[in-house]
């Protein structure tokens, strides 16, 4: 036994909020993250919709949230990828890629997810050579080039706007006639002279030699080649629910379903943030999920300890 009360898997805003509250409630908790602390915060340059901050860099908010949780004693282990989560004799077992096993009565699943692929020819071939899923990470490599952004939601429009600080031109390509992004983001992008929208268009393939040189898109039955030096893809999210070895109830898209306390269908496992089936994916709602799960997990662990003493 590793002696933890709670193991938190994932270091985005949901996991960090859960870590803060479990630590404040004097539980022995550890937070594991497969990469640098922050989750999707690190893929967002500027955040303007988190209460208390008119605007703040995503990376800065990640540092602040991590420091806050550490202040109350949370153990944080970043760059510590989890292989799987299982249940053995009532205990939750978290197996790491390193081979180490951690055990606790409670697990808070905050592992978020991964970008959804377009699944078109050339996408995998040119990944890292012009195809990217993170504008903040890779935008600076494309100074002066014309770029394509694929998608119509908040991420696509916001990151397309961000890319104009480097690119000479950004084409935002969306398969529908209307964008799904918030109106304030759409208005800002439409006012940017470097952005052009290509709507009702479907990307068919990505082409190049040693790097991306162009893509083909279809609009009303006609295929057009668009010369671009990079393609940034923001077409959705695939939840990391596959880490759970046992069956956990989920929706048709793979997002874990929970009750109002973030409890999954497995006793002692909670799901929070982007891995959970919910109306919206925002930093504020993720933090709320993490807080709720932390309180519920604390009550659960306390009940187990009381029962063991009885």
Examine the domain organization and report whether 142 and 188 are in the same domain. Answer: yes
- Do 165 and 299 belong to one domain? no
When pLDDT is averaged across residues 111-128 and rounded to a whole number, the result is 94
Mean pLDDT of 134-146: 93
Instruction: Tell me, yes or no, whether 229 and 249 share the same domain.
Output: no
pLDDT at 245 over 80: no
**Whether residue 16 is found in the same domain as residue 77:** yes
Query: What average pLDDT does range 238-258 have in this prediction?
Result: 90
When pLDDT is averaged across residues 147-153 and rounded to a whole number, the result is 97
Mean pLDDT of 287-303: 98
Two structure tokens written together for 36: 């640098």
- Verify that 187 and 88 share a domain, yes or no: no
Do 249 and 228 belong together in one domain? no
pTM, two decimals, is 0.83
| Res 246 pLDDT > 80 | no
**Short-list 37, 38, 18, 17, CA closest to 104:** 18
Q: Decide which of 178, 213, 233 is a domain's last residue.
A: 233
Q: State how many domains the chain has.
A: 2
Domain enclosing residue 178, as ranges: 131-233
- Does 20 share its domain with 100? yes
Q: What is the mean pLDDT of the chain?
A: 95
Q: What pLDDT sits at residue 40?
A: 87
Q: Is the pLDDT of residue 221 over 60?
A: yes
Just list the catalytic residues: 134, 137-138
| Residues 24 and 92 both lie in one domain | yes
Q: Taking 50 as the threshold, does the pLDDT of residue 305 lie above it?
A: yes
* Segment 49-53 mean pLDDT: 91
Per-residue pLDDT, 1: 47
Q: What are the structure tokens assigned to 175, written together?
A: 């398969």
Is residue 124 situated within a structural domain? no
Is residue 298 in a domain?
A: yes
What CATH number corresponds to the domain at position 105?
A: 3.50.50.60
In a domain, 205, yes or no: yes
For 226-235, the pLDDT digits (tens) are: 999 999 999 9
158 and 250 share one domain: no
Q: What confidence tens digit (pLDDT) does each residue in 2-27 have?
A: 689 999 999 999 999 999 999 999 99
Domain boundary among 233, 254, 273: 233
């Amino acid at each position: 036994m590793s002696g933890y009360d709670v193991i938190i898997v994932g270091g985005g805003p949901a996991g960090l909020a859960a870590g803060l509250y479990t630590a404040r409630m004097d539980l022995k908790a550890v937070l594991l993250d497969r990469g640098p602390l922050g989750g999707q915060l690190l893929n967002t340059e500027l955040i303007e919709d988190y209460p208390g901050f008119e605007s703040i860099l995503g990376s800065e908010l990640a540092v602040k949230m991590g420091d806050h949780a550490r202040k109350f004693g949370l153990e944080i282990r970043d760059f510590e990828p989890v292989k799987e989560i299982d249940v053995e004799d009532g205990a939750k077992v978290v197996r790491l890629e390193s081979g180490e096993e951690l055990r606790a009565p409670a697990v808070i699943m905050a592992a978020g997810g991964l970008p959804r692929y377009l699944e078109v020819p050339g996408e995998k071939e040119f990944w890292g050579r012009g195809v990217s899923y993170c504008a903040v990470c890779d935008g600076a490599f494309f100074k002066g080039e014309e770029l394509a952004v694929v998608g119509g939601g908040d991420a696509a429009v916001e990151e397309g706007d961000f890319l104009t600080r480097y690119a000479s031109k950004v084409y935002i390509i969306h398969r529908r006639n209307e964008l799904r992004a918030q109106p304030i983001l759409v208005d800002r992008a439409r006012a940017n002279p470097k952005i052009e929208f290509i709507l009702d268009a479907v990307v068919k393939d990505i082409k190049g030699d040693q790097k991306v040189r162009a893509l083909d898109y279809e609009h009303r039955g006609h295929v057009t080649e668009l010369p671009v030096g990079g393609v940034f893809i923001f077409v959705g999210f695939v939840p990391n629910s596959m880490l759970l070895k046992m069956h956990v109830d989920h929706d048709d898209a793979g997002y874990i379903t929970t009750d109002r306390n973030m409890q999954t269908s497995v006793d002692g496992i909670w799901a929070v943030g982007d891995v959970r089936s919910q109306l919206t994916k925002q930093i504020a709602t993720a933090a709320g999920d993490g807080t709720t799960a932390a309180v519920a997990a604390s009550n659960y662990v306390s009940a187990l300890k009381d029962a063991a003493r009885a």
